[in-house]
Chains A and B, each alone.
Chain A
Amino acid sequence: PWKAMHDPATQIWTSFIAHEQKRDQHQSSKQHGGPTMAEKGVKVFGMWASPMAIRVEWALRLKGVGYEYVDEDLASKSDALLRHNPVTKKVPVLVHDGKPIAESTIIVEYIDEAWKDGYPIMPADPYDRAQARFWARFADDKCNAAIFPVFTATGEAQREVVREAQRCLKTLEKALEGKKFFGGDAVGYLDVVVGWYAYWLPIIEEVSGADVVTDEELPLMKAWFGRFLAVDVVKETLPPRDKLLALNKARREQLSA
């Protein structure tokens, strides 16, 4: 349905409908004092191959919250996405009862707070929360930057970037010491944030011919990969491996061209 809305005539019609709906909603919300049926609920704007978007799904499923998933064509973003996230125009965006939130880690914290009586995602103690946020930031800023070159490098250059990626991941691995998950006995915020490594890294390794997360170099991380992939909410949401592999192969060729 989203793809059908992209030709100009349809766009004019759908934006007219949206305007009329909004006007009606506004009038009825004046009467009832809240969002109407049309606005209520949870929507996730994402993309099937996006590791950032999947974080949001994991968080919602841990809470047992139902949602509608809108799979965006990033080369041709929907009006709704651009309207909900005019600042960065990126996925994922969570829309809860009509109110949009962008930035995956911020969305995950929001989900934890908005459904505070459900599964606890963030640690309870302020110090532990600070640690979890620190490592999430470290992973997103440093590890991701170290992993990306592995994807495109070849030969001797690849060996060097693999070592750098391993150095980064070894630092992150410290947060796993003595625990089943980053969150302790059960999955928590940091698992949700870095969990994509468990599925995407082996694919990156296969596509680029590199070995990054090995039993010798990163035993704790490797073991955690296995445990994380066995978690129900993770199993339910992972995109098909062959499709993801094919997409990454194609991307690598594009980038190397």
Chain B
Amino acid sequence: MAGGDDLKLLGAWASPFVTRVKLALNFKGLSFEDVEEDLSNKSELLLSSNPVHKKVPVLVHNGKPICESVIIVQYIDEAFAGIGPALLPSDPYERAIARFWAAYVDDKLVAPWVQSLRAKTEEEKSEGLKQTFAAVETLEGALRECSKGEGYFGGETVGLVDISLGSLLSWLNATEVISGTKIFDPVKTPLLAAWMERFSKLDAAKAALPEVDRVVEFAKKRQAQAAAAAAASETK
């Protein structure tokens, strides 16, 4: 790591967006201070580093804050260009394709999936899942194209899209434990199922991804809290 670089990650262990930044830092071989925020009691540092959204993750590099997980990952790739592997390809067209699919993961997969997890009605939940699965199918095709026969969206090595999607793995596994639903079905999306296996085995991934059991517990607790809140508001 370059001499004198101070890297602090303001995060929350359960957040896949925080995991995303950890993955990038790990793949680059960069050491950082992992600051766990209490999101119900946010630190002064977090509030002053991200005054616009007040959210995690925030990467503080030599005192300067960078916000938004995909932006942080690109920043890490650019600010530490000489160190570790490149997270984005060097060809402009391939970079554009990587950025497109990274944005797609958040807009078309994560968004409806979160909707289904937070859904208050069965209808909302199944609509969210329907959109999630449609996005997964499209990503299967994207993986086929982008990998060019190799193991990752980035080709031979892990790239931006692998990191964006990979950050979700503990939650994907947790969803399977809780509801029995496999988001990356090995029959329907064999490439993604294989990719998930392969990615999970990488040291950088193992170090960044939260334990599935912990996520399951966390998700169940949150669901219970949401149900209690809904019940309470109905009995008014």
Contacts and interface: CB of A to CB of B under 8 A. Distances in A.
Q: Please say whether chains A and B are actual partners in one complex.
A: yes
Interface of A: 87, 96, 99, 101-103, 106-107, 109-110, 113-114, 116, 126-127, 129-130, 133-134, 137-138, 171
Interface residues of B, number: 22
Interface stretch (B35-43, B92-100, B113-121): B92-100
Contacts of B68: 133-134, 137
Interface of B: 52, 61, 64, 66-68, 71-72, 74-75, 78-79, 92-93, 95-97, 99-100, 103-104, 138
A116 B61 CA distance: 27
B93 A129 contact: no
B61 to A, nearest CB: 8
B52 A127 contact: no
Contact of A126 (B79, B93, B104): B79
A133 B79 contact: no
A101 B93 contact: yes
B78 A101 contact: no
For the residues of B in contact with A, the DSSP-based class is helix
B144 to A, nearest CB: 14
Contacts, number: 56
B64 A113 contact: no
A127 B95 contact: no
A107 B99 CA distance: 10
**Which of A110, A133, A134, A137: most chain B CB closer than 10 A?**
A134
Contacts of A87: 104, 138
B52 A106 contact: no
A129 B81 CA distance: 14
A103 B100 CA distance: 7
Contacts of A137: 68, 71
B95 A129 contact: no
B102 to A, nearest CB: 9
Nearest to B77: A126
A127 B95 CA distance: 19
B99 A134 contact: no
B96 A101 contact: yes
Top 8 closest A-B pairs, CB basis? A113-B92, A126-B78, A110-B96, A126-B79, A130-B75, A114-B92, A130-B66, A101-B96
Contacts of A116: 92
Nearest to B61: A127
Contact of A102 (B71, B79, B95, B100): B100
B93 A109 contact: no
A110 B75 contact: no
